[in-house]
Amino acid sequence: MLDDDACYSHLARRDPAADGEFFVAVKTTGIYCRPICPARLPLRKNVSFFRTAAEAHANGFRPCLRCRPESAPDSPAWLGTLASVRRALNLIDSGFLVDHDVDALADTLGMTARHLRRLFMKHLGVGPIEVEQVRRLHLAKKLIHETGLPITEIAFAAGYGSLRRFNEVFLNAFKRPPSSLRKKRGANSSAAPLIVSVALRLDRTSLRTPDHLELKVSGSASALIRSVKGTTVTVELVNVAPRDIATAISEIKQRLHSHRPSFAAR
């Protein structure tokens, strides 16, 4: 359970250590933010706190355009949860629910869909479908902000079955079309290098990243580490098709997390 007063005090200080720990939803604007959001501090009576972005989303809030909740490090509510839930989250993160339903996901984990949903509700406060919905929206928003990929390719990369469906969901959430988030008009290009940021939940000083990762997603796919700033790693995806972006980012995150020195080694 979150302690609302403690959360508000982290928010008031824009505490970087609280980033990913919780999200704050502002009732007057319908937006949810990271604790580090540069926007003016909302009044205490106007905010509520959620453990995960998925929970804020399921309660009808939309992600902030300034602090970009889709770029927050993974929530410890996700990382610290049961191994089976974590496995389910990793599968969802890599796009499993684009081609499969929740029954297939539960099957893979050796449990019934009902049991899986019960575990999700208990540990995350939302079901697998809600997690998938917010994953798609977050990935699409991230790719719009960070890459020059055309909107159609982004729709498919994020797992939407059609451009129409993506536009519908996006308009519903943001009351504006996807292209309106693009800073540079006419910058759309599939030819530009595909550079994305990956946020890790790590002790800042302990991060030792390799320069280059061969990815399993396809024979020639790889990731070049371009920069590391705090816990944000900027990577260039090489030979990664739009439909494989989710899997590639998920793999990079998991591989870089495994580079974390063990606690015993510190």
- The answer to whether residue 18 forms part of the interface with Zn ion (CB under 5 A) is no
Q: Is 67 a catalytic residue?
A: yes
Q: How far is Cα 54 from Cα 23, in angstroms, rounded to an integer?
A: 10
**Can 7 be counted among the known catalytic residues?**
no
Q: Which is nearer to Zn ion, 42 or 127 (CB)?
A: 42
Element (H, E) at 135: helix 128-146
53 in contact with Zn ion (CB under 5 A): no
Rounded to whole angstroms, the Cα distance separating 182 from 199 reads: 21
Q: Does 24 bind Zn ion (CB under 5 A)?
A: no
Catalytic entry in 7, 26, 37, 221:
37
66 vs 212, which CB is nearer to Zn ion?
A: 66
Nearer to Zn ion, 67 or 106 (CB): 67
> Residue 252 to residues 24, 179, 217: CA-CA distances in angstroms?
27, 27, 10
Say which residue the tokens 């449990």 belong to: 111
Shortest approach of Zn ion to residue 8 CB, angstroms? 15
When asked if residue 157 is in the footprint of Zn ion (CB under 5 A), the reply is no
What torsion do the CA atoms of 49, 116, 127, 169 make, to the nearest 10 degrees?
140
Among the listed residues 11, 26, 67, 249, the single catalytic one is: 67
List, in order, residues 6 or more apart from 59 with CB less than 8 Å away. 25, 48, 50
**C-beta closer to Zn ion: residue 70 or 251:** 70
Q: Calculate the CA 129 to chain-centre distance.
A: 15
Site for Zn ion in 56-75 (CB under 5 A): 64, 66-67
Tokens 């989710």 belong to which residue?
Answer: 246
Shortest reach from residue 37's CB to Zn ion, in Å = 3
Could you confirm whether 33 is annotated as catalytic?
A: yes
List of residues contacting Zn ion (CB under 5 A): 33, 37, 64, 66-67
Active site residues: 33, 37, 64, 67
